[in-house]
A and B are shown apart, each in its own frame.
Chain A
Amino acid sequence: MGFFLVLKAEIVRGLIIMRRYWFASLTGIFIGYGMLLMLIQALVYGSGQIEDMAEQAVDGGLGFIIGIFAFGIVGLFTQGLQGMARTGELEQVCMSPHGLVTNFMARSLVAAVSSIFSLSIIIALIAWSVEGTLYFAPLPTIVLLALTYLNLIGFGFMVGGLVLIFKQTGQIAMIIRLAMIGLAFPAQESLEGWPISLRVIVHALPVTNASICLKKVLIDGAGWAVLENYAFYFLILSCLVWTTLGIACFRYMENWSRDKGTLGAY
C-alpha cells in the first residue's frame, strides 16, 4: 500500500521535473542517439565484416542500451543516493513512514519506466538509421523488462547498502556500473563456448541474462519462444536471488548505518 503512495509522489515529481527540464531530456535523447551511432560506426562497421552488418549494428546498439539502462538504475542506488545525502533529501526520505526500501523501489521504478521510454526512442532511431529490424513483441518484452528491473534493483540495493556504510565505495560502484555496460554490449549466446567457471560468473551478474533474452526477443523475433532459452531461467533465478539478497543486505546496512549515526548524512 505504502509503495503506491510513494510511487504516486515519485511520479508527480518525475513529471514536474521532466516538464521543467524538457530541454535537457530532449537533448539527452539526441546526444545519446548520436553517440551510440558513432560507437556502432566504429565498432561494427569499422571491423570490416560484410555480412549482416545491420543486424550486428542493432545487436550492439541494443546491448549498449541495456547496459546504459543498468548503469542508470544501479547508479540511482550509488551516485544517486550519495547525491541525495549531499542535498539532505535523504534524511527526510529516511524518515518517511514507509521506510527507505519502499522509497527506493518506487523511485527506481519511476526512473526505470522513464528511461525505458527514452531508451526505446533511441534504439528505434538506431534501428531505423542502420536499416536494421527490431521485432516488436509487447508482452514478452514487458515481462523481460520487469525481470531485468527486479534483477537490477536487487543488485542496486546491494551496492546501495554498501554505499550507505562505506561512503568511499562510490568509486568502485562506478566501475561496476561501467562493467555492466561492457557485459551487456557483447552478451550473446556465444557465451556457450566459454569455460564453465567463467560462464557461471557471467550469468550470475545481473545484466547478462537479461541482455541475452531481450536480444532474442527484439532482434531474433523469438517472442514467447524465449521461454525455451536457458538464459530466461537464469534470469528468473538471479532475479530472485539478487532481490532477496539485495534487500536483506540493504536493510541490514540501514540499521548498521543507524548504529554508526550516519544514516542520511554524507
Chain B
Amino acid sequence: MSTDLVQLDRADKLFHTRHFFSVDPKTGKRHFYQKRPIHAVREMEFGVRAGEIFGLLGPNGAGKTTTVKMICGLVRPSGGHVYVDGLHVEKKRLQVLRRVGVVLEGTRTCIWPLTPRENLAYFGNLKDVRGKVLRQRTDYLLDFIGLSEKRDVQVRQLSQGQKQKLAICIALIADPPVIVLDEPTTGLDVQSSRAIKDKVVEMTREQGKCAVVTTHDMNVAQELCDRIGIVKDGELITCEPTEKLLDIFSEQVYELRLDRHPDTRLLEAVPGVVSTELEDADDGPTCLVKLDPDPELRSQAIYGTVQTLQQQQLLLRSIQQRQQNLESVFLQLTNGHSRPGATE
C-alpha cells in the first residue's frame, strides 16, 4: 500500500468535553463537573491513490471533519497513524503540510480586505511559492476556476461561491499532490457547486492529484467520487468504488403499476420471486416485486409474474425496474439494517 498518497492506519480520535453543573443525558443526574468522552473517529482505515477522488460520506456529526483534520495535522489522533505521501503526519507535520492543500468547512479561509490576487500572493509566500512561478500559478488558477474577472475585487465583495472557489485556489497555490475538501459544495447554488465539482474532477484526472472530499450530499458523492467511504458514528461502515457500491445494492426490484390489488400469495409462489410489497397511490396500487439476482431465474420470474397477473385479469399499467441510487444505499447502511457482504 506504499503507493497511497494518503493512508489512514487505524486512526482513532477520542474527544473529551467538560461540563460544569450539567445534567448527564444518560443517567439524568446532576454533576458539579463531568468529563464526557466523544468517540469521533473509530479505527478508521483507508488509502487514497494518486488520480483518485475519495469521498467520505456521512450524516452530520459522523466524524468526517475530524478525519480530514487528522490528515492535515490540525487534530492529533489519539490512536493509530496517518500518512501523507509516505510521511507520518505527527512526526513530519511541517513537511506534510507542504504536500496537502486544504479547504475546510465554511469558506472562511481568505483574508477579506485583500483581493483574490493578493490573497494568493500572501498564501503563496507562506508556502514558498515566489516570484514568476507565483504570478504564473496565480493567473493559471484564477483562470482555471473562473475568477479572473474578480481578481482585483476585495474578497468581502465576493459571493459565497466565489469565496469558496478562491479558497480552493489558495489550497492549490503550492501545487500540492493531495487536496482535501471538507464539504466543498455546502451552501452553494447549483451552478457554483457544478463548477466546483467539474474543477475537482479535472484537476485530479489531469494532474494526477489525489483528492479527499467529505460530504453529506449523496449526489455530490455519487457524481464526484471514484470511491466512497460511508461513515457513521465515527466508523467507516463500508469503503467501495462508487459503481460497486451501487451494484451491491441494486436489488432486482420491479415496480408493476396495476389497477387493483393483486393476490400476492400467488405472485410469491412464482419461482424466482423473492418477495412482494404493495404501495398504494391515487391511481391504483404499485406492486414491488423483488426478484432473484440470477439472470436465468429472473427471466423466468418476470414471465411468471406477468402471467400470474394476467390470469387474475388485472390491468398492467406499466412495468419498470427500480433505480438504485446512493441515497437509498446510504439510508440502508446508516440505519444499520444490512451490511454488504462484499466488505472485508
A and B co-occur in one complex: yes
Q: Assess the B75–A9 pair: CB atoms within 8 A.
A: no
Closest Cβ of chain B to A92, distance in Å, is 5
Residue of A88, A96, A258, A264 touching B126 (CB-CB under 8 A)? A96
A120 at the binding interface (Cβ < 8 Å): no
Answer whether A88 and B127 are a contact pair too, CB < 8 Å, given A95-B102, A99-B94, A258-B73: no
Q: What's the tally of chain B residues with a CB closer than 8 Å to chain A?
A: 38
Answer whether A94 and B125 are a contact pair too, CB < 8 Å, given A17-B113, A88-B109, A261-B66: no
Interface size band for A = 20 to 34
Residue of B74, B114, B125 touching A16 (CB-CB under 8 A)? B114
Residue of B15, B72, B113, B126 touching A260 (CB-CB under 8 A)? B15
B165 at the binding interface (Cβ < 8 Å): no
A199 at the binding interface (Cβ < 8 Å): no
Interface residues of B in 36-83 (CB under 8 A from A): 40, 66, 69, 72-76, 78
A23 at the binding interface (Cβ < 8 Å): no
Contact partners of B128 in chain A: CB under 8 A: 5, 97
B112 at the binding interface (Cβ < 8 Å): yes
By beta carbon, the residue of chain B nearest A258 is: B76
Residue of A91, A260, A261 touching B109 (CB-CB under 8 A)? A91
A12 at the binding interface (Cβ < 8 Å): yes
Q: Assess the A97–B95 pair: CB atoms within 8 A.
A: yes
Q: Assess the B127–A8 pair: CB atoms within 8 A.
A: no
Interface string of A187-217 (1 = CB under 8 A from B): 0000000000000000000000000000000
Answer whether A88 and B69 are a contact pair too, CB < 8 Å, given A97-B95, A258-B74: no
Q: In the assembly, what is the distance between CA of A12 and CA of B78, in Å? A: 39
A167 at the binding interface (Cβ < 8 Å): no
Q: Assess the A89–B109 pair: CB atoms within 8 A.
A: yes
Residue of B94, B108, B123, B130 touching A87 (CB-CB under 8 A)? B108
Q: Assess the A13–B126 pair: CB atoms within 8 A.
A: no
Q: In the assembly, what is the distance between CA of A21 and CA of B154, in Å? A: 13
Contact partners of B118 in chain A: CB under 8 A: 12-13, 16
Q: Assess the A95–B111 pair: CB atoms within 8 A.
A: no
Contact partners of A87 in chain B: CB under 8 A: 108, 111-112
Answer whether A9 and B122 are a contact pair too, CB < 8 Å, given A96-B127, A255-B76: yes
Interface residues of B in 111-155 (CB under 8 A from A): 111-114, 118, 121-123, 125-128, 130
Q: In the assembly, what is the distance between CA of A21 and CA of B106, in Å? A: 27
Q: Assess the B97–A13 pair: CB atoms within 8 A.
A: no
Q: Assess the A95–B125 pair: CB atoms within 8 A.
A: no
Q: Assess the A12–B122 pair: CB atoms within 8 A.
A: yes
By beta carbon, the residue of chain B nearest A21 is: B113
Residue of B109, B113, B127, B130 touching A97 (CB-CB under 8 A)? B127
Q: In the assembly, what is the distance between CA of A7 and CA of B110, in Å? A: 18
Q: Assess the A92–B66 pair: CB atoms within 8 A.
A: no
Contact partners of B72 in chain A: CB under 8 A: 95
Closest Cβ of chain A to B297, distance in Å, is 52
Q: Assess the A97–B98 pair: CB atoms within 8 A.
A: yes
Residue of A17, A99, A263 touching B74 (CB-CB under 8 A)? A263
Instruction: List 20 A-B residue pairs with CB atoms under 8 Å apart, sorted by A's residue number.
Output: A5-B125, A8-B125, A9-B123, A9-B126, A12-B122, A12-B125, A13-B114, A16-B114, A92-B123, A95-B74, A95-B100, A97-B95, A97-B127, A98-B126, A258-B73, A258-B75, A258-B76, A259-B75, A261-B40, A261-B74
Q: A16-B118, A99-B94, A261-B40 are in contact. List 16 more A-B contacts (CB 8 A).
A: A5-B125, A5-B126, A12-B118, A13-B111, A17-B114, A92-B109, A93-B126, A94-B74, A95-B102, A96-B123, A96-B126, A97-B98, A97-B128, A103-B126, A261-B15, A263-B74
Binding site for A on B (CB under 8 A): 13, 15-16, 40, 66, 69, 72-76, 78, 94-95, 97-98, 100, 102, 104, 106-114, 118, 121-123, 125-128, 130, 170
Binding site for B on A (CB under 8 A): 5-6, 8-9, 12-13, 16-17, 20-21, 87-89, 91-99, 103, 255, 258-261, 263-264
